[in-house]
Every structure is written in C-alpha cells, then in structure tokens.
Structure 1
Amino acid sequence: MSAPLYQLKAEFFKTLGHPSRIRVLELLSEREHSVAEMLPEVGIEPAHLSQQLAVLRRANLVTSRKEGSTVYYSLTHPGIADLLTVARSILTGVLSGQAELLEDLRASVRKGG
C-alpha cells in the first residue's frame, strides 16, 4: 500500500527544509547552474553543496547533465520555481502584518498605553 498523499507532501516539504537547498532551488529557478557558479551564491563548502544537491536529486527536484568535466544542474519541474514565488509572497504578507503590529505596539508604548 502506498503512503497517503499528506505523508508524501510532508516528506517533500522536509526536503525543502534546509536554507542551502532553498538557495540552490532559487538559483536554479533563474537558469541552470554549474556547481562552481552556485558555490559563492550558496556560501557553503563544496562537499556540503554536493551533499545538498544529492538530497535534491534523490527527491527528484533537480537533474544534472555533464558537459566535459562540468556538471550543470536544473530544476526537474517549473512548478518548483512557482512554489518558491508563492512562498515569498506568503512571507511578505506575514512579515508585513508583523511590521504593522510592531508599529502599533510602539505607538501604544509612546502614548503610555
């Protein structure tokens, strides 16, 4: 018997639950990148980047191709880029609401309330 969809979704989001993996996916949302191009953008050691790319490959979120000695990575599905865009939109709304609440609290303190 296969796992329920909600369990598969949980595993999917667990795979996304690492800042380096999110940064890699953001970069690949723009275009394919080589490991050398991603290293300065992700800001982790080469071995750690390779580990994170392996996790993303096993989850079938990225694919790779070799050209000479250079390995290029790309997203397996354009929906991944869409998901990151939606997440950014949600976070923008949440943070905006928190900023408004913080300003209201500051105004209340200034008024002595």
Structure 2
Amino acid sequence: MDRHGKATQASTPLYQLKSEFFKTLGHPVRIRVLELLSVREHAVAEMLPEVGVEAASLSQQLAVLRRANLVVTRREGSNVYYSLIDSQIAELLSVARSILSGVLEGQAELLADLRASRPTP
C-alpha cells in the first residue's frame, strides 16, 4: 500500500493489471492510433485525418496511451511525434486481428448454412 492507502503495482494481482491493460485498449480511437503507430512513427497532425476525430479528442486519447506507457513522444520543432514503446503491442494487435478473422469466418459459415437450410416457399 502507498501512503494514500492504495495498492501499489507490486501488490496488484497480475489478472487485475491485465484487466487494466485491456481497458486501456478498449477505445476505438486508441486502437486506431496503435495500428497507425504499428507501421511507423507519426506526428499528431498526421494522425488526425487517419483517426477522424477532433484534435482535442485525439490529444486526450494519446494522453491515456502515454500514461499507460504504451507510447513515447519526441519533439521536433513544433511537431510532437509518437511511437510505440514496444513492438509487442503491434504483435498483440496482429493476433487480435487473426482471432477476429477466425470468428468472422465462423459466423460467415453459420450464416451460409442458415441461408442454405431456409425452407423454400
């Protein structure tokens, strides 16, 4: 416990830390930002049209990712560039894509089976 009575990370169960990690990923803008950063470093201005939200909203979501230690920044003149802190984040997104592809394929097969078994009038 810290001096405010809150549990420290060291005493927090791993499953709870994982839950917090996935909650951080639980926003479409944050996922899109991480997808973009999986390809390469981006300036904030570059991400705006790709993400499709207002600058203030993007800034808020980037702050969440920074606090979660998923991204790092560097400043060059008036531009702020973001990059992933670890390439495993890109791998995680790739695994999620693969899992979802399998789920959707299974649903497509089920839909095809349902349509094929539809009684004819």
Instruction: Give 1:29's aligned residue.
Output: 38
Equivalent-residue separation in structure 1 for 2:44 and 2:93 (angstroms): 21
Structure 1 segment 69-108 matched on structure 2, within 5 A: 69-108=78-117
CA RMSD in angstroms comes to 1.1
Structure with greater contact order relative to length (CA < 8 Å, sep ≥ 6): 1
Equivalent-residue separation in structure 2 for 1:33 and 1:95 (angstroms): 30
Aligned residues: 112
Task: Give the gaps of 5 or more residues in structure 2.
Answer: 2-10
Cα distance, 1:110 vs. partner?
Answer: 4.4
Equivalent-residue separation in structure 1 for 2:46 and 2:86 (angstroms): 21
The SS at the match of 2:81 is strand
With normalisation by structure 1, the TM-score equals 0.96
The SS at the match of 1:44 is coil
Cα distance, 1:29 vs. partner?
Answer: 0.2
**Residues 1:4 and 2:2 are matched in the alignment:** no
Instruction: Give 1:50's aligned residue.
Output: 59
